[in-house]
Amino acid sequence: MNLKRVVVTGIGALTPIGNTAEEFWSGLINGVSGAAPITRFDASLFKTQFACEIKNLDVEQFIDRKEARKMDPFTQYAMISVEEAMNDAGFDLEKIDKSRAGVIWGSGIGGLKTFQDEVKDFANGDGTPRFNPFFIPKMIADISAGFLSIKYGFRGPNFVTVSACASATNALIDAFNYIRLGKADIFISGGSEAAVTEAGIGGFNAMKALSQRNESPETASRPFDKDRDGFVLGEGAGALILEEYEHAKARGAKIYAELVGGGMTADAYHITAPHPEGLGASNVMEIALADANLKPEEIDYINVHGTSTPLGDVGETKAIQKVFGDHAYKLNISSTKSMTGHLLGAAGAIEAIASIFAIRNGIVPPTINHFTDDESFDPRLNLTFNKAQKREINYALSNTFGFGGHNCSVIFKKYN
């Protein structure tokens, strides 16, 4: 079958280290940490009192107040990031076939704040079941894609993928497959998450998943460091406009990169712990490479899942060494979660953007907060510690892995 080519023609980002794609990239290459004490609620009673929050955001600059009240923050973040991406893509919406334009979005949790607030209000009331009529529409994860399709009039495939921290990459792969099979021309894709709430922090604390480095939050996310003690919760959104190559070329679109391969696997091992030998992780990278018809030695950079957890970081590097062999030592590897924290279902979207900008600019963003070597990691691996590195990147691979054992990898190619 003659598969279509798929390119990225628009990018938008709303992150803890920048409220636009360019601000986000600047934060990455300058090694900026987005972690700070929580401002959304009183976190003094929680074991973890910091997170990577969005900063200096006035939602009403982007969304009408009445409309914004119908949206959980995760949907607001989606709308804001996609507006930037759509403006960047430069579509004339009157000239595209909207029946061949769709939205596939990702969110691991959806409207957590809405659910939390409504249940608290009910529990603190007199027992009368009074609920906001927007409770359900604000909470459900699919509503983000619904709002986006309504705003832009896109009538093609429309849904949200939910695969925990792999959700946004899952969404990108689904959109990629629809386009290359000829079933659509354009997709809005990516992911958003807004879990910095009492329920989010408390729930992840109960699992012992979060760092508790309250005395130094800016250094708490430290992938591959000997003293890593858990991930730092982040929030935000990343949006990519995926377009069929000939469609993009015909309208003279700016092209950032080409999406050439994707893979999805399951660990089939444990509900939260990764496979200790990285079995699902190695399989998913092999599948992505085969899908892109690439040899391992053609990859230049891997943006790893790299959450700063004791088990996850080790399993992923083992998987990389298994797949890439001696070429693993010629790769640049970095975890941008050291700066953004972990955006859960949105992580794959902003890390895809980081990978694309790394290709375009010939710069590998660093893994910051490395203080102490861990003998668990092969010292021959270039984990790009503490400082960005210049190198030509023709192919970049981005990994995202989620609770439940969900694994996704995508590969982007330099566009010439």
Catalytic pick among 247, 305, 370, 406: 305
Report the relative pairing of strands 6-14 and 257-266 from DSSP bridges: antiparallel
| DSSP SS3 for 83 | helix
User: Is residue 18 a contact partner of residue 25, using CB atoms and an 8 Å limit?
Assistant: yes
User: Is residue 408 a contact partner of residue 352, using CB atoms and an 8 Å limit?
Assistant: no
How many CB atoms sit inside 10 A of residue 261's CB?
21
Catalytic pick among 247, 275, 342, 370: 342
Catalytic pick among 165, 247, 275, 370: 165
User: Is residue 96 a contact partner of residue 210, using CB atoms and an 8 Å limit?
Assistant: no
Q: Find where tokens 């399709």 sit.
A: 149
The answer to whether residue 52 is catalytic is no
Question: Exposed, middle or buried by CB within 10 Å (0-12, 13-18, 19+), for 126?
Answer: exposed
Q: Find where tokens 């693993």 sit.
A: 328
Q: How does 285-317 read in b/e, with b if 16+ C-beta sit within 10 Å?
A: bbbbbebbebebeebbbbbbbbbbbeebbbbbb
The letter for the amino acid at 188 is I
User: Is residue 270 a contact partner of residue 409, using CB atoms and an 8 Å limit?
Assistant: no
Longest dimension (CA), the chain: 66
The letter for the amino acid at 402 is G
Q: What is the DSSP string of 359-393?
A: HHHTEEPPB----S--TTS-TTS---BSS-EE---
**Among the listed residues 384, 379, 347, the one whose alpha carbon sits nearest the alpha carbon of residue 364:** 384
The letter for the amino acid at 372 is T
| Paired strand residues for 401 | 407
Phi/psi for 157 (5° steps) reads: -50, 140
Could you give the CA distance from residue 409 to residue 395 in angstroms, rounded to a whole number?
Answer: 13
| Token code pair at residue 212 | 């508790």
How many CB atoms sit inside 10 A of residue 179's CB?
27
The answer to whether residue 165 is catalytic is yes
The answer to whether residue 406 is catalytic is no
Could you give the CA distance from residue 308 to residue 209 in angstroms, rounded to a whole number?
Answer: 10
Which residues are marked as active site? 165, 305, 342
